[in-house]
């Protein structure tokens, strides 16, 4: 017979279909499976160093943009310069507000009580709404439509790939100190050799990138650069050869299996980002920033005057902040 849903019982396995449909209950698994949202490891990583503040009409980053040149060697009674140099300039970033609505018919709440084996409708929908909001923020960080409008937060693409836009109130065309490192064209599969110029472009001593973001396809092609397919007798061109079975390859294989790193940068495969472009970031200088006055704030449930429904909203005020774009670089033309 055709498969049935709801309170009806399937045959097989049941023989007394009508009886069991009348007197039995189905087991409802206690967790709702997520088949729609795509977790973003990038968004999660940017929240490791998230900043949270209780006040501030806007976000201002003080930027040291020039050296204080009243300095040098002297001797005796030489006159020393006393000119004041205005060396610090503000970058002014505005907050962005996000909401997620939850609306439920009251009758559905009343009749949808599942009893001892059912799930709470309100709780389940609030959890689904929270997941939907996190998905929206991940898309906004990646700069994906429709969350890439003029009132959305400043995306990674806006901070790192664009070099002539105006961001945080500063025009990068005229203020080159606010530009990121120049985009690095890969022109093929990403490899360690092609990544090194971008790495050294954004590395200053021990201050180095700690995050490499790639699309799933580009990540897979990059990982293959470290696994050769040549015979064991051939000259090795990669870290691991297909037929090698040496003990010293075990740590490398473990690293590739559980987490991949380039230098100090964790390599993340994130399907929120399109193939062909990657980002090498230093998350000491780029992070999510939140206003605690509206930090996943949920409004009370309200009811319209002419409908038997209740509505609540989750509100958030946040931004993707950055105070050193020079430490970030985009990788383009990856195939």
Ordered domains of the chain (ranges, CATH): 1-30 (no CATH), 41-63+89-334 (3.90.1690)
The string of pLDDT tens digits covering residues 254-285 is 555 556 889 999 999 999 999 999 999 999 99
Cβ neighbours around 52 below 10 Å, total: 11
Residue 185 is inside which H or E element, if any?
strand 184-188
Question: What pTM was estimated for this model as a whole?
Answer: 0.86
Three-state SS for 289? strand
Confidence of residue 111 (pLDDT cuts 50, 70, 90): confident
| Lowest-pLDDT choice from 37-41, 269-273, 286-290 | 37-41
DSSP 151: T
Is 21's pLDDT higher than 60?
Answer: yes
For residue 330, what are its two tokens? Answer: 């985009």
The strand pair at 170-171 and 166-167 is best described as: antiparallel
Looking at residues 88-114, what average pLDDT do you find?
Answer: 93
The string of pLDDT tens digits covering residues 190-230 is 999 999 999 999 999 999 999 999 999 999 999 888 765 55
For residue 91, what are its two tokens? Answer: 């970058």
């Amino acid at each position: 017979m055709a498969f049935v849903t709801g309170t009806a019982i399937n045959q097989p396995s049941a023989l007394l279909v009508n009886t069991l449909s009348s007197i039995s209950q189905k087991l409802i698994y206690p967790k709702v499976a997520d088949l729609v949202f795509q977790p973003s490891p990038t968004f999660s990583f940017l929240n490791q160093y998230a900043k949270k503040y209780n006040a501030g009409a806007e976000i201002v980053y003080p930027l040291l943009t020039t050296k204080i040149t009243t300095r040098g060697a002297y001797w005796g009674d030489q006159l020393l310069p006393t000119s004041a140099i205005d060396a610090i300039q503000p970058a002014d970033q505005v907050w962005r507000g996000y909401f997620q609505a939850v609306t439920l018919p009251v009758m559905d709440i009343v009749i949808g009580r599942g009893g001892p084996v059912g799930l709470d409708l309100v709780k389940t929908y609030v959890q689904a709404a929270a997941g939907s909001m996190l998905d929206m923020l991940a898309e906004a960080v990646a700069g994906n439509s429709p969350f890439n409008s003029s009132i959305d937060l400043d995306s990674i693409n806006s901070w790192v790939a664009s070099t002539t836009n105006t961001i945080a109130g500063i025009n990068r065309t005229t203020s080159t100190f606010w530009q990121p490192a120049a985009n690095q064209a890969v022109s093929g599969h990403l490899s360690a050799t092609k990544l090194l110029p971008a790495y050294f472009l954004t590395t200053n001593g021990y201050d180095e990138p700690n995050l490499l973001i790639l699309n799933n396809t580009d990540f897979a092609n990059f990982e293959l650069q470290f696994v050769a397919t040549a015979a064991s007798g051939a000259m090795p061109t990669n870290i691991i050869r297909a037929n090698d079975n040496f003990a010293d390859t075990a740590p490398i294989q473990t690293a590739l299996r559980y987490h991949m790193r380039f230098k100090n940068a964790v390599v993340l495969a994130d399907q929120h980002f399109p193939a062909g472009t990657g980002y090498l970031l230093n998350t000491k200088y780029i992070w999510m920033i939140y206003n605690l006055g509206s930090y996943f704030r949920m409004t009370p449930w309200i009811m319209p005057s002419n409908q038997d429904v209740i509505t609540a909203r989750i509100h958030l005020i946040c931004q993707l902040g950055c105070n050193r774009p020079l430490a970030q670089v985009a990788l383009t033309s990856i195939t």
